[in-house]
Every structure is written in structure tokens, then in C-alpha cells.
């Protein structure tokens, strides 16, 4: 049964979803960013970080 590979990969990588939810929560509650370019940069770098975290965990 080779399907366990994908389950184990997605289970450990799902931690990145929690990281993304926390980054969105942090953006909404703690940061005071109103500029569209700054928001784009924040979420751009956040998505890169979350993607790498997904692959490396």
C-alpha cells in the first residue's frame, strides 16, 4: 500500500496551514498596515514561508 506516503506527507505539512492561519490572525490583530503594497509584500513573503514550511516538515 503506497498511499500512506501521501497521508504522512500531508499530515506533517498541514502544520503550515496552522502557521498561515496564525499569520493572518497576527496581521488582523497586531499589525497596523494600511498600504496595499505592504500588505502584498507581507502576504507574499508569508506564503513563501508557509510553502517552504510545508515542504520541509
Residues near 13 by beta carbon (within 8 Å), at least 6 away in sequence: 54, 55, 57
Higher pLDDT, 8 or 44: 44
Percent of the chain with pLDDT over 70: 98
Q: Does residue 53 contact residue 18 with C-beta atoms inside 8 Å? A: no
Say if residue 15's pLDDT is above 80: yes
The pTM for the full model equals 0.84
Residue 24's pLDDT is: 98
User: Does residue 49 or residue 9 have the better pLDDT?
Assistant: 49
- Return mean pLDDT, the chain: 94
Amino acid at each position: 500500500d503506497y498511499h500512506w506516503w501521501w497521508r504522512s506527507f500531508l499530515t506533517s505539512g498541514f502544520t503550515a496551514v496552522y502557521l498561515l492561519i496564525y499569520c493572518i490572525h497576527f496581521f488582523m490583530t497586531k499589525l497596523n498596515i494600511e498600504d496595499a503594497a505592504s500588505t502584498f509584500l507581507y502576504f507574499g513573503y508569508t506564503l513563501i514561508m508557509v510553502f517552504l514550511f510545508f515542504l520541509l516538515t
